[in-house]
Chains A and B, each alone.
Chain A
Amino acid sequence: MTINMGPQHPSTHGVLRVALELDGETIVACKPIIGYLHTGMEKQAEYKTYTQSIPQTDRMDYISPMSNNLAFCLAAEKILGVEPPARVQAIRVLLAELTRISSHAVWMGTHAIDIGALTVFWYTFREREKVLSIYDHVAGARMTSSYFRVGGLSRDIPEGFLDRCEKFVDEMPAHIDEYESLLTKNPIWIARTQGVALLSAKDAVAWGVTGPSLRGSGVNYDIRKAEPYSGYDTYQFDVPVGRDGDAYSRYVVRCAEMRESVKIAKQAIQRIRELGEFGPYRVRDFKYVLPPKEEVKTSMEALIHHFKIVAHGFFPPVGEAYSAVEAPKGELGFYMVSDGSPRPWRMKVRSPSFINLQALPLMVQGRMIADVIAAIGSIDIVLGEVDR
């Protein structure tokens, strides 16, 4: 029997279609079919200036907009050869880690709901909502934040923002305990996830799986440690690594990652305080980055730069760059080729969801329908990012 799971299905996390060949309830063949959410973002980027592409990145992995903004800005900054000030980097790290917490919270809630534990969802979304309010506070939008800019931030952090983040990260460990009390030792949860959706370390590496899904298979690879960016090498944190490569290991890894993110966020808050709660939030390189508004009002030079950048964007040097960040779902990389014009000649996104999803048939071969759901949940995909 052939069954089309999706594109309209409660547990495929969007418009994923999985064509399943079944023998009874056992899976003979599994084929993920994608493209239902394809919007051609990579092609569109060729017709937009670099700054105009930032809002597009929000809409890829819409659960973790800040990480996408960060990955895009880092790649563009690599072409330009600019590096934002340490304070800006600390703000970016803080927001990227809050994003990781919120993304993992969404993952945990939806994964649990797929497996039938309906209540966890409401608890995790409660905390995710707090992160969204923090986005709203800092960027003015709850989900499509578009807060980072090439060379800095769109504006400085508002008053009371750090206190708010601090309150959130102080409360978060207790909430993670709360989620874990519902699942970690629950015999049914263990029965449903342990030994399910197995992916060996060798296969995971061969298929290019990254992020918590890779670390769940026991491979210690985290871009924050392997190729640090935004000053991650100066933060104290551990990289949790799983053992068995099953859905439960991935669950354990992600729970531990949330706790690590809390640690990093605390250090980042402290660092921002040390470097000044308010201050310059953009590189002073007016060929590429907008000058501060006050200067625009008083300096002729600044006004010209402002006009040039707003009117047709900045002109980067000819070259190409690939830059990747450890997004909540894995290695999110942007590859850009610049021909010297204000628009990238080509942009390619290496999206973790798309590549992790390719390992799905391997995980579910010979298993049951219920395991497909557990497997899709455990690799944590967002279809906006799969299809782009």
Chain B
Amino acid sequence: MAALMQNEVFQVALWAMVKVGIILGVMLGVVSYLIYAERKICGHIQARTGPNRVGPLGLLQPIADVGKLLFKEEFTPAGANKIIFHIAPILAVFPAIVTFSVIPMGPPPMFVVTDINVGLLLFLAMSSLGVYGITLGGWSSNNKYALLGGLRSSAQMISYELAMGLSTIPVLLRSGTLSLSGIVDSQGGAYQIGGTTLPLPNWGIFHWYLVLPFFIFLICSFAETNRAPFDLPEAEGELVAGFHTEYSSMKWALFFLGEYMNMIVICSIIVTLFLGGWHGPGPAILGIVWYLLKLFALLFFFIWVRWTYPRLRYDQLMGFGWKVLLPASIANVVIAAVWLYWRANA
């Protein structure tokens, strides 16, 4: 046993397992309180108070909600493709959790589960997989509204994934690495321009050629997480509930969980790529605090937008993706590449 404990591989594996456990537990808690926060914030935006009956300030509301969902009837519509119908909600949650394993929440190796050298690629791959849950769920329900919702989500994914991927390229050009920890490292310290130090952090967003990608990425992430103004696959006004019309009980809850986890993941990626990750004033151990602060600010922004804006139409959304965001991000990649090349050789 002692020899096993000395084994380096075993130690790494053990640590990883512990971190996975912590992250899973924390994530589930964070998600349920994110839903609470969303309801509370939306309540205040809408001139009302939000949940305040269950427990002090309504703080036990998420527990009551989950309890209710657990006891609801699991309903499978007649004519549904049963296997896919059951797998789809799992597919919606799993990519979000997997992506979380590569996000540096603080100084490595302590605050990241696996610091792989292609973390960004893993994120892009997983975010593309996430859409399968929705499309398959919509298709297998044997419901026309759900089918339309599923189709919309795949169209939306194609329109936005490209611009999203392209908007990360200037970041890679700057940092020269695909590892998310490496990208965060490249944003440490103070902002230097031509030898002079400015009183600005060296975050991506403060470099002029990363401003446009930041906004493109932000817009795409609304589409990626199916949040208003791009919540077309759900579009409760049009498609009743879109892809999850036929889902009930915990299967529905899994879709819900997936949406909120995706939100957390995508906000973490924005923090990592553009907002300096865990960097901030004070000792490195405070990194996790800075990371969380930035994350919550972004999450608040997501919630704020959702309760303020109307929903775009499906063709308008696709037109916007293909005709505006894609050319803009391609142009930005070229400009950033030329600029970085010129600066390196000047």
Q: Which residues of A contact B (CB under 8 A)?
A: 1, 3, 9-11, 25, 112-119, 121-123, 126, 182-183, 186, 188-189, 191-192, 368-373
The stretch of B21-29, B236-244, B260-268, B327-335 that contacts the partner chain: B236-244
Could you tell me the distance between the alpha carbons of A182 and B308 in the complex, rounded to whole angstroms? 8
**Is A117 a contact partner of B309 (Cβ separation < 8 A)?**
yes
**Is A188 a contact partner of B229 (Cβ separation < 8 A)?**
yes
**Is A191 a contact partner of B237 (Cβ separation < 8 A)?**
no
Residues of B within 8 A of A10 (CB): 236-237, 240
**Is A115 a contact partner of B311 (Cβ separation < 8 A)?**
yes
0 or 1 for each of B203-239: is its CB under 8 Å from A? (1 = yes):
0000000000000000000000000110100011111
**Is A369 a contact partner of B239 (Cβ separation < 8 A)?**
yes
Q: Is B47 an interface residue when CB atoms closer than 8 A count as contact?
A: yes
**Is A192 a contact partner of B315 (Cβ separation < 8 A)?**
no
Q: Is B45 an interface residue when CB atoms closer than 8 A count as contact?
A: yes
Task: Say what secondary structure dominates the interface of chain A.
Answer: helix
Q: Is B314 an interface residue when CB atoms closer than 8 A count as contact?
A: yes
Q: Is B145 an interface residue when CB atoms closer than 8 A count as contact?
A: yes
Nearest CB in chain B: distance from A76 CB, A: 40
User: A115 and B48 in contact (CB under 8 A), knowing A9-B240, A11-B237?
Assistant: no
Could you tell me the distance between the alpha carbons of A178 and B312 in the complex, rounded to whole angstroms? 22
Could you tell me the distance between the alpha carbons of A192 and B316 in the complex, rounded to whole angstroms? 9
Residues of B within 8 A of A116 (CB): 228-229, 231, 235, 237, 309-311
Residues of B within 8 A of A373 (CB): 237-238
**Is A368 a contact partner of B315 (Cβ separation < 8 A)?**
yes
Nearest CB in chain B: distance from A105 CB, A: 14
Residues of B within 8 A of A369 (CB): 148, 238-239
A-B contact count (CB 8 A): 79
Could you tell me the distance between the alpha carbons of A374 and B270 in the complex, rounded to whole angstroms? 34
> Could you name 22 residue pairs across A and B whose Cβ atoms are closer than 8 Å?
A1-B144, A3-B145, A10-B237, A25-B148, A115-B237, A115-B311, A116-B310, A118-B306, A119-B42, A119-B307, A119-B308, A122-B46, A123-B46, A186-B309, A188-B309, A192-B312, A369-B239, A370-B311, A370-B314, A371-B313, A373-B237, A373-B238
User: A368 and B313 in contact (CB under 8 A), knowing A11-B237, A182-B308?
Assistant: yes
**Is A370 a contact partner of B47 (Cβ separation < 8 A)?**
no
Q: Which residues of B contact A (CB under 8 A)?
A: 42, 45-48, 144-145, 148, 228-229, 231, 235-240, 306-316
**Is B314 a contact partner of A122 (Cβ separation < 8 A)?**
no
User: A191 and B315 in contact (CB under 8 A), knowing A3-B145, A122-B46, A123-B47?
Assistant: no
Nearest CB in chain A: distance from B111 CB, A: 36
Residues of A within 8 A of B309 (CB): 116-117, 186, 188
Of all A-B residue pairs in the complex, the 4 with the closest CB atoms, nearest first, are A116-B311, A122-B46, A117-B310, A116-B310
Residues of A within 8 A of B46 (CB): 118-119, 121-123
Could you tell me the distance between the alpha carbons of A126 and B46 in the complex, rounded to whole angstroms? 10
**Nearest chain A residue, comparing its CB with the CB of B228:** A116
Residues of A within 8 A of B45 (CB): 119
Could you tell me the distance between the alpha carbons of A116 and B233 in the complex, rounded to whole angstroms? 13
Nearest CB in chain A: distance from B280 CB, A: 33
Residues of B within 8 A of A3 (CB): 144-145
Could you tell me the distance between the alpha carbons of A363 and B20 in the complex, rounded to whole angstroms? 55
**Is B310 a contact partner of A189 (Cβ separation < 8 A)?**
yes
Could you tell me the distance between the alpha carbons of A297 and B281 in the complex, rounded to whole angstroms? 86
Could you tell me the distance between the alpha carbons of A123 and B308 in the complex, rounded to whole angstroms? 12
**Is A188 a contact partner of B312 (Cβ separation < 8 A)?**
yes
Could you tell me the distance between the alpha carbons of A186 and B309 in the complex, rounded to whole angstroms? 8
Residues of A within 8 A of B310 (CB): 112, 115-117, 183, 186, 188-189, 192
Q: A25-B314, A112-B310, A118-B307 are in contact. List 17 more A-B contacts (CB 8 A).
A: A3-B144, A11-B238, A115-B311, A116-B229, A116-B235, A116-B311, A117-B308, A117-B310, A118-B306, A119-B46, A121-B46, A182-B308, A186-B310, A188-B312, A192-B316, A371-B313, A373-B237
Nearest CB in chain B: distance from A12 CB, A: 10
Residues of A within 8 A of B237 (CB): 10-11, 113-116, 373
Nearest CB in chain B: distance from A2 CB, A: 8
Could you tell me the distance between the alpha carbons of A350 and B46 in the complex, rounded to whole angstroms? 37
Nearest CB in chain B: distance from A147 CB, A: 29
